[in-house]
A and B are shown apart, each in its own frame.
Chain A
């Protein structure tokens, strides 16, 4: 019995989601374990720490709401401006080829984070659970842990699994520190960072966009702390190539479905007049595609989608009705599935297609190159997802689950968009927006409802 396609679709999405989930889970456990159980004890009333994220305003519980909001906004503004300045500095250094300096700086910061911040977290864990350990052993263990971590950040020859584990560790440690910020500042900061991320990656001249473009034009690794979801078990090239292509195609395929599921006004109409609509969609595609491709290609696509309409009603109704997004994702599917050696039998009769061989080849190579490196997720995304969940953990478990689900689904949406757009995308905005919305909905609406019904043993 041949293996079904269920096993091969979505491998990479899970490959990114599972470390994020582990990171969030550990941060939540850490927050639960280390937060003082009695809110009026001495530890809770200790003065809050002062970091770059609350330079301007120190929140105290007695302030009024408007005061807190104003202070939190100022804090967030200062923090985002600081981050923007640092990122521009990074881009500048990278532009003038200070790559070694950057790498050493990253190593130093990894050392600093693992050694001091991680060390203090380990100390508080040891105190909290009263683990019997002497200081010399503890120091040796911490030192070894830190050194291996620093070595694994940029040098080759380290197993990818170790590097991934250390990335998750770094994320956990930084996120655990960020959860010590006061509440209002945290929320405003998260939203501000999501907006900043959106601007920095997508706007022309945004620092992260510049950085990514520079790195790809020089064909180098990005000099930053980035989690790579490469397959941990190396497979032979033949299998790997086809597997990845198939995966990408699978992602964009299901992407089209999910996008349709959200906006499904005219689904019924589609099914009734799928043929008419598919022509319409082909025309739409034409107007969209002619921006970048020559016209005979559109013709080919049009024929193709007509054939689809006859052949597989479902698929053509998928591509119909929705203008650019769906058609584009459909096309991505065709590219990637065309790249595997199996030629799509529906493409072969189209004479027009052959004229496009070169362009297709080019695009194909781009696509496979991009995905043979695997999906990369910045460490900052790990950190701020976990900060959100950790902050939610300070309220209740219910908000934790709601935020987790929201963040993971936002990440899934981002990954699907990634397979559609084939360019660097910000991972924070969708997830953080969903997370914040679900947090407040859960806290304000769902919690009283669920607690009220469940304590009466009414469930459904």
Chain B
């Protein structure tokens, strides 16, 4: 039972990413490399952030404002990194195009570009899930489970797996949205991504700040609902945008 529970939590957090990886990414070696490098980038950002925040730890868990500063700086830093990632990707795309010309293969298709963005986002999401959820799961494989003070009904592992799943979705698809926004110069998409990231982070804070007042579990459920609402919003926005680009592209090809 214990091993089953541990594997269950892990699959809950990473199952969708795993199927995405197997069905889309693993067939193209270049995308695998993109996932790896993006994961490494996220890890580096986490190490830098923890290096900065190490001096202030441990934070008091009763007050909420230090956490909001933490979330704000972290999100700002990671969004800055996303811009950097985009610039690197831009150069990569040019090089790949030049290379494709040289070996007289077709240039990158629109779907290829979107897949690279998806792979980058998946790397970020997987890194998030791995470091915030999976790496704390070791005790879940043993007998017994763990409850945090904040919530005495749902096991901590289940909660963190649920939150991680929402964040994986947000990270994965917001990268596609962001890359598309940068490529098109679309301001709405460019600002959509950091705001979603920040709001998602703040929603989790919300559960700290209000847990003293309202019933704790109700707050937590509410937070999870908002989090999943944001995740689904990101997913829908991404789907709509990709659909729009694809039909537009097909129309352009048809008219040519």
A residues lining the B interface (CB < 8 Å): 2-11, 13-14, 37, 246, 249-250, 253-254, 256-257, 260-261, 267, 312, 314-315, 318, 333, 337, 340, 342, 344, 396-398, 401-402, 405-406, 408-409, 412, 438, 441-442, 445-446, 448-460
- B59: nearest chain-A partner, CB-CB: A452
CB–CB B29/A397 < 8 A: no
Closest 10 CB pairs of A and B: A314-B94, A449-B50, A398-B135, A10-B29, A460-B201, A14-B29, A397-B135, A446-B50, A315-B98, A9-B30
CB–CB A459/B167 < 8 A: yes
B interface residues, how many (CB within 8 angstroms): 78
Q: Does B81 contact A (CB under 8 A)?
A: no
Neighbour of B160 across the interface among A396, A398, A408, A457, CB < 8 A: A457
The A-contacting residues of B in range 49-77, CB under 8 angstroms, are 49-51, 53-54, 57-59, 61, 67, 70-71, 74-75
Which chain B positions have C-beta within 8 A of A454? 132-133, 136, 160
Q: Does B187 contact A (CB under 8 A)?
A: no
Given contacts A249-B103, A318-B95, A397-B137, contact A460 B156 (CB under 8 A): no
Which chain B positions have C-beta within 8 A of A260? 91
Q: Does B105 contact A (CB under 8 A)?
A: yes
Give Cα A401 to B46, complex, Å. 13
The A-contacting residues of B in range 129-175, CB under 8 angstroms, are 130-138, 142, 148, 150, 156, 159-160, 163-164, 167
Neighbour of B131 across the interface among A11, A13, A450, CB < 8 A: A450
Q: Does B20 contact A (CB under 8 A)?
A: no
Return 11 A-B CB contacts under 8 Å, by A number.
A2-B105, A257-B95, A315-B98, A318-B94, A340-B103, A409-B37, A448-B57, A454-B133, A455-B156, A457-B150, A458-B67
Give Cα A460 to B50, complex, Å. 13
CB–CB A314/B98 < 8 A: yes
- A449: nearest chain-B partner, CB-CB: B50
B208-221 interface bits toward A, Cβ cutoff 8 Å, 1 = contact, 0 = none: 10000000000010
Q: Does B204 contact A (CB under 8 A)?
A: yes
Give Cα A401 to B135, complex, Å. 8
Which chain B positions have C-beta within 8 A of A456? 59, 61, 67, 148, 150, 208
Given contacts A5-B103, A7-B28, A7-B29, contact A460 B112 (CB under 8 A): no
CB–CB A5/B53 < 8 A: no
Q: Does B236 contact A (CB under 8 A)?
A: no
Neighbour of B102 across the interface among A337, A406, A459, CB < 8 A: A337
Which chain B positions have C-beta within 8 A of A10? 29-30, 32-33
Which chain B positions have C-beta within 8 A of A405? 36, 39-40, 43
Counting chain B CB atoms within 10 Å of each CB, which of A3, A8, A254, A460 scores highest? A460
Q: Does B78 contact A (CB under 8 A)?
A: yes
Given contacts A445-B50, A449-B54, contact A457 B36 (CB under 8 A): no
Give Cα A6 to B87, complex, Å. 19
CB distance from A4 to the nearest CB of B (A): 5
Q: Does B207 contact A (CB under 8 A)?
A: yes
- A453: nearest chain-B partner, CB-CB: B70
Chain A interface SS verdict (over half) = helix
CB distance from A398 to the nearest CB of B (A): 4
CB–CB B46/A446 < 8 A: yes
Given contacts A253-B95, A409-B37, A452-B59, contact A457 B148 (CB under 8 A): yes
Given contacts A5-B96, A256-B95, A315-B95, contact A261 B105 (CB under 8 A): no
CB–CB A315/B100 < 8 A: no
Neighbour of A459 across the interface among B43, B58, B105, B201, CB < 8 A: B201
Which chain B positions have C-beta within 8 A of A450? 46, 50, 131-132, 135-136
Which chain B positions have C-beta within 8 A of A344? 102
Which chain B positions have C-beta within 8 A of A333? 99, 102
Which chain A positions have C-beta within 8 A of B32? 10, 14
CB distance from B135 to the nearest CB of A (A): 4
**Besides A333-B99, A412-B33, A457-B148, 20 new A-B residue pairs in contact (Cβ under 8 A), listed by A number:** A4-B105, A5-B105, A10-B30, A10-B33, A14-B29, A267-B91, A312-B94, A314-B98, A315-B94, A315-B98, A337-B102, A340-B103, A401-B134, A409-B40, A412-B36, A449-B53, A458-B204, A459-B160, A460-B74, A460-B75
Neighbour of A250 across the interface among B99, B104, B159, CB < 8 A: B99
CB distance from B91 to the nearest CB of A (A): 6
CB–CB A459/B164 < 8 A: yes
Neighbour of B29 across the interface among A11, A257, A408, A457, CB < 8 A: A11
Give Cα A73 to B154, complex, Å. 49
B192-213 interface bits toward A, Cβ cutoff 8 Å, 1 = contact, 0 = none: 0000010011001101100000
Give Cα A438 to B47, complex, Å. 9
CB–CB A4/B39 < 8 A: no
Counting chain A CB atoms within 10 Å of each CB, which of B46, B87, B104, B205 scores highest? B46
Give Cα A456 to B204, complex, Å. 9
CB distance from B166 to the nearest CB of A (A): 9
CB–CB B36/A408 < 8 A: yes
CB distance from B172 to the nearest CB of A (A): 15
CB–CB A14/B33 < 8 A: yes
Give Cα A5 to B112, complex, Å. 9
Given contacts A11-B29, A451-B136, contact A5 B70 (CB under 8 A): no
